[in-house]
Amino acid sequence: MPETSDIARTLPDLDPDLTDAALAEALVRTAGTLALQMRREGLEAQRKSSVSDIVTAADKAAEAYILAQLRRCRPEDGVFGEEGTDVPSSSGRTWVVDPVDGTYNFFAGSSYWCSALALRGPASSADADPEALLGAIFQPQEDKLWIGGAGVPATLNGNPLEGPADARLGMLGVATSIQPRWLEQPLSAMPWHAAAVQSASIRILGSGSCDLARVAQGEIGAWFQHSCPQWDWLPGKAILTAAGGTTATVEVNGLTWFAAGGATAVREIVSALSSARLG
């Protein structure tokens, strides 16, 4: 496998005069293409918090590329990334980066992964649900690029998104994720179960940003999960909101739960989660 620095030197420098939306599109497209190229040439993975929580050289190389381009093109903006980037902002804006979302899928050879980023307003890195000004998600092996945000129409490969249907939760297929160790703990397992059993069907596909993009286009009915870091939540939140969808967060048993979809489904998810409060 070529050294990361050798591959990075072949990547294009982006034009600082690009709009935020055009810059975001170029960044996720290039980062995703880089990660896919590196996977094809051979990768090893390192475990982070669990067997399924891993990182590869492709994650790090893609984030390094995005960081370098943002420092060139938006030097006053902050950058906050999953693989350790944390550059403070002097503009009040911060780019939130997930170079490879769904790394377990990515490393296993699945196509259900993406590169994603969001532009947020003033907030700390610890805030669970700050304002999302813009989101971009690129799924390389399916050549799908979703983008949307404040003043930026929600689109898939340039075509407008219809947004999620406003239907009852019991009529919808719902995407979610929960680790087995969380299913062993009533504080998390009970709220998850209360919401899951209200849906028509459950999908656990392994990439929150891919899931949320598909909720925005109406392919998946709704989505919920707990303890999402900003890079797993804000790109999809921005796109889904721009498509006319609804998002919400709720604290249950000390955990922050995130929900997205049509207004009725989100309201029912929040109600179901809340019904399982303990103590």
pLDDT number for residue 48: 61
pLDDT confidence of 197, banded at 50, 70, 90?
Answer: very high
Candidate from 45-49, 67-71, 131-135 with smallest mean pLDDT? 45-49
pLDDT confidence of 279, banded at 50, 70, 90?
Answer: confident
pLDDT number for residue 2: 41
| Angle of the 208-217 helix axis to the 230-242 helix axis, nearest 10 | 10
Q: What is the pLDDT of residues 10-44, one digit of tens each?
A: 798 999 999 999 999 999 999 999 999 999 988 87
Q: What is the pLDDT of residues 217-270, one digit of tens each?
A: 999 999 999 999 999 999 999 999 999 999 999 999 999 999 999 999 999 999
Dihedral angle sign, alpha carbons of residues 194, 199, 205, 206:
negative
Alpha carbon separation from 275 to 171, 187, 205, 268, 278 (Å, rounded): 20, 12, 26, 10, 9
DSSP class per residue in 5-17:
HHHHTTSPPPPTT
- Is 81 a residue whose pLDDT tops 80? yes
pLDDT number for residue 44: 76
Domains and CATH numbers, the chain: 4-160 (3.30.540.10), 169-275 (3.40.190.80)
pLDDT number for residue 4: 47
Q: Residue 171 has which token pair?
A: 């009529």
Q: Is 25 annotated as a binding residue?
A: no
DSSP 161: P
Q: Residue 67 has which token pair?
A: 């960081």
- Is 190 a residue whose pLDDT tops 60? yes
Q: Is 17 annotated as a binding residue?
A: no
Structural element, H or E, at residue 28: helix 20-41
What integer best gives the mean pLDDT of the chain?
93
Contacts by 84-88, CB closer than 8 A, 24 or more apart: 86/125
Count CB-CB contacts under 10 A for residue 89. Answer: 18
Q: Is 82 annotated as a binding residue?
A: yes
Q: Is 13 annotated as a binding residue?
A: no
pLDDT number for residue 25: 98
